Amino acid sequence: MERSSNEMQTNAKLTREQHLELYYYMQLNRQLEERMTRLFRQNKIVGGLYASLGQEAVSIGTAYALEPRDWLAPMIRNIGSLLVKGVKPRDIFTQHMARYTAPTHGKDGTSHFGDLKVCHVVSPISMLGDLIPVMTGVAMAGRYLGQKIVSMTWIGDGGSSTGAFHEGLNFAATQRAPFVLVLENNQWAYSTPVARQAAMKDLADRALAYGIPGHVVDGNDVMAVYTAAKSAVNECRAGRGPVLIEAKTMRMKGHAQHDAAEYVPPAMFEYWKTRDPIARYEAYLTEHKLWDAAKKSEIDARIERELDVDQKFAEESPMPPPELAEQGVYCEGCHTVEADWRRPKQELLPPASSVEAVWKVTDFGAFVPPAPASKPAGGAAGHVEKPVAKPAPTPVAAPSATPELAEEQPLRVPFGRGPKDRAFERERLEKQEKRGKSFVKHRRDKKGKH
């Protein structure tokens, strides 16, 4: 696995404004969640509240690598990614307070909302791992339409043990979907430490099983996270398939508000406290002369101001009217999503995808023992050298041809309705027609003989 440096990295490609924007989003993320914790204690948060304290650099650094046209789907600890994508704090306040003004009009008390039209956010799915095949599908749909988009989602250390994670990542890998999966290893899944549910040091090694690149990054170093994510997004956009990034970090609170995390050794909290991502980034900005105390106060004051306005809006918003509870449960023509996504045929056909509607089989996949370097003197006759342990697999973009197959025509497997498929269909109809004629002729000939 490729590892990023443990040191806070510099990234010359970001402007001063962008560096400051990263700070703004991380601090906005933290302050928003602190306010929501206070609201929870005042009994104003209706559902669960899951903190991302100590993990802000992961959500912000990864989402910041996306462009507005790209798509993401957050998990419970990725409120920061929503902010980067343009979702307003007021939507997050109202949603958690189940107000009528919330994106789901008060029907959900946590974070199950998306924005398919403007921000390109797919709503979270609570079943861990299920967003992986869904976001793979989003990436494939974008490719089909020739949009050059990248999709991204997150998964926890615990979630990376689900079947959906493995099925989804395998699917993404075989489809070479432009999809970035961020594995947020925060050391705990509820009260289960990571070593009790995965017998491996780096969860990024899970990528090896699917033949895709996996990278380990210091999840509390926002520059390192951003750099890794940006390069993964670039790889995807260049058509080289999915990338897995493991960000090592720490969940600095319990699973949710009800959990005091008494099972976490206090020394572990102490260790991670000294690696706080925001404090580290503040030191980085100062060290690189990207800001001064006045600039920091200006940004902090802006955050306070914005959150004051949005929190007030949420607290003054009404709860949903009771009759709303029975509306929108079953679709009775109320559902507008279907109509929004019905696309004109001309837009879909032929596919703008760069993926050929032809599958080439150039390799039978047999084990080929490595050629012996030279015959060992006096070696036993018929002795076969043990194959050496394989190095990490490289993505199978172009499998090497087995000699017997090199001259073979690629197998044609029709699907979809691309130009090649139309040609195939014409060919098939012509053959059918010929066969039909010869069949009639054959019958006629036969009739004559009777």
Ligand X SMILES: Cc1ncc(C[n+]2csc(CCOP(=O)(O)OP(=O)(O)O)c2C)c(N)n1
Where do contacts with Mg ion occur on this chain (CB under 5 A)?
156-157, 186, 189
Residue closest to ligand X (Cβ): 156
Q: How far is the CB of 405 from ligand X (least distance, A)?
A: 41
Tokens of 3: 């590892």
Q: How far is the CB of 248 from ligand X (least distance, A)?
A: 12
DSSP annotation of 115 reads: B
> Choosing among ligand X, Mg ion, none, which partner's interface includes residue 95 (Cβ < 5 to 8 Å by kind)?
none
Rank residues 65 and 247 by Cβ distance to ligand X and give the closer one. Answer: 247
Name the residue among 183, 184, 202, 157 with its Cα closest to residue 277.
184
Rank residues 259 and 363 by Cβ distance to ligand X and give the closer one. Answer: 259
Residue closest to Mg ion (Cβ): 156
Strand, helix or coil for residue 440: helix
How far is Cα of residue 28 from the mean position of the Cα atoms in its chain?
A: 22
Look-up of token digits 């009217």 = 321
> Choosing among Mg ion, ligand X, none, which partner's interface includes residue 190 (Cβ < 5 to 8 Å by kind)?
ligand X
CB atoms within 10 A of CB 84: 25
Q: How far is the CB of 172 from ligand X (least distance, A)?
A: 18
Q: Is the preceding peptide bond at 350 cis, omega within 30 degrees of 0?
A: yes
Alpha-carbon distance of 55 to 60, in angstroms, equals 9
> Choosing among Mg ion, ligand X, none, which partner's interface includes residue 27 (Cβ < 5 to 8 Å by kind)?
none
Q: How far is the CB of 187 from ligand X (least distance, A)?
A: 8
**Which residues does 118 contact at the CB level (< 8 Å), separation at least 6?**
86
Alpha-carbon distance of 311 to 320, in angstroms, equals 17
> Choosing among Mg ion, ligand X, none, which partner's interface includes residue 228 (Cβ < 5 to 8 Å by kind)?
none
DSSP annotation of 186 reads: -
Rank residues 62 and 311 by Cβ distance to Mg ion and give the closer one. Answer: 62
> Choosing among ligand X, Mg ion, none, which partner's interface includes residue 61 (Cβ < 5 to 8 Å by kind)?
none
Q: How far is the CB of 90 from ligand X (least distance, A)?
A: 25
> Choosing among Mg ion, ligand X, none, which partner's interface includes residue 127 (Cβ < 5 to 8 Å by kind)?
ligand X
Rank residues 132 and 189 by Cβ distance to Mg ion and give the closer one. Answer: 189
> Choosing among Mg ion, ligand X, none, which partner's interface includes residue 310 (Cβ < 5 to 8 Å by kind)?
none
Alpha-carbon distance of 371 to 324, in angstroms, equals 72
- What residue ranges bind ligand X (CB under 6 A)? 77, 126-128, 156-159, 162, 186, 188-190, 251, 255
Transcribe 356-376 into DSSP letters.
Answer: -S-----------PPPPSSPP
Tokens of 89: 């704090």
Q: How far is the CB of 37 from Mg ion (least distance, A)?
A: 19
- Sign of the alpha-carbon dihedral angle for 354, 356, 362, 365: positive
Rank residues 23 and 188 by Cβ distance to Mg ion and give the closer one. Answer: 188
Look-up of token digits 């079943």 = 127
Beta bridge partners of 71: 151
Pairing of strands 71-73, 151-156: parallel
Q: How far is the CB of 192 from ligand X (least distance, A)?
A: 8
Beta bridge partners of 182: 154, 245
Tokens of 384: 């076969």
Look-up of token digits 């047999």 = 366
Rank residues 77 and 120 by Cβ distance to Mg ion and give the closer one. Answer: 77
Q: How far is the CB of 407 from ligand X (least distance, A)?
A: 48
> Choosing among ligand X, Mg ion, none, which partner's interface includes residue 175 (Cβ < 5 to 8 Å by kind)?
none
Rank residues 72 and 128 by Cβ distance to Mg ion and give the closer one. Answer: 128
Rank residues 163 and 378 by Cβ distance to ligand X and give the closer one. Answer: 163
Asked whether the beta carbons of 89 and 310 are under 8 A apart, the reply is: yes
Asked whether the beta carbons of 212 and 173 are under 8 A apart, the reply is: yes
How far is Cα of residue 403 from the mean position of the Cα atoms in its chain?
A: 38
Rank residues 90 and 251 by Cβ distance to ligand X and give the closer one. Answer: 251
> Choosing among ligand X, Mg ion, none, which partner's interface includes residue 255 (Cβ < 5 to 8 Å by kind)?
ligand X
Q: How far is the CB of 77 from ligand X (least distance, A)?
A: 5
Q: How far is the CB of 231 from ligand X (least distance, A)?
A: 24
Rank residues 29 and 186 by Cβ distance to Mg ion and give the closer one. Answer: 186
Rg (CA), the chain: 27
